[in-house]
Amino acid sequence: MRTFRQKLSWLVPIIIGLLIALLIKQFLFQIVRVDGPSMQPNLQNNERVFCLKASKIHRGSVVIFDANGVDPQVATRTNYVKRVIGVPGDTVKSKDGNIYVNNNKINQNYINADQRDSGTGNWTLKSISVQNNWLKNNGATKVPNGEYFVLGDHRSVSNDGRYWGFVPKSKIDGVVKVPSWTGTATTRNNVNQEWKHYWAN
């Protein structure tokens, strides 16, 4: 009996600790590894970032979502990291290196001129949905209710909403926050604070 109580005395704290860790991961935050170059120059391949579960999603927020069921080429749970360009009800178009949301030009100072211009292309939601044969919302002219339109920062290599459409809110795990010990002050600001400066002056 005494041996059982001794075992229980160290087993219970371990179980409680695991439960707390699971609750934090499920409802508060988790650490996620960036996979690939699609968010360069602001996030690098293999960089570790926080995914905040309860943060509000803004235009310009960088989010993590499960691409399974979003990108037709993905058959198992796969985390994608992209930047929100359009929220429900928005129209989005790209012309001559500028992106317009609801006919208002957005700020893209977080990427260089080449990424804005040749990397992004000229399109409307309707034109890319038809051109790229979206399986859902083909012919859409605005972002549907409960969904988001996302792009990678490194537009010329990013597999993003241009090619497969919108991301349902139910697929989004949370908003990315870059900790102070990674990246540079500029790249951290481009991820953590850019949504505050979304519209072009």
> Running DSSP on this structure, what letter comes out for residue 52?
E
Catalytic residue flag (residue 82): yes
Contact 150, 85 (CB under 8 A): yes
Nearest to 36 by CA among 158, 171, 192, 150: 158
Nearest Cα residue to 84 out of 106, 53, 68, 112 = 106
Instruction: For strands 167-168 and 29-33, give the pairing.
Output: unpaired
Catalytic residue among 7, 9, 25, 38: 38
Catalytic one of 53, 56, 82, 142: 82
Residue 93 annotated to the active site: no
What residues are labeled active site?
38, 82
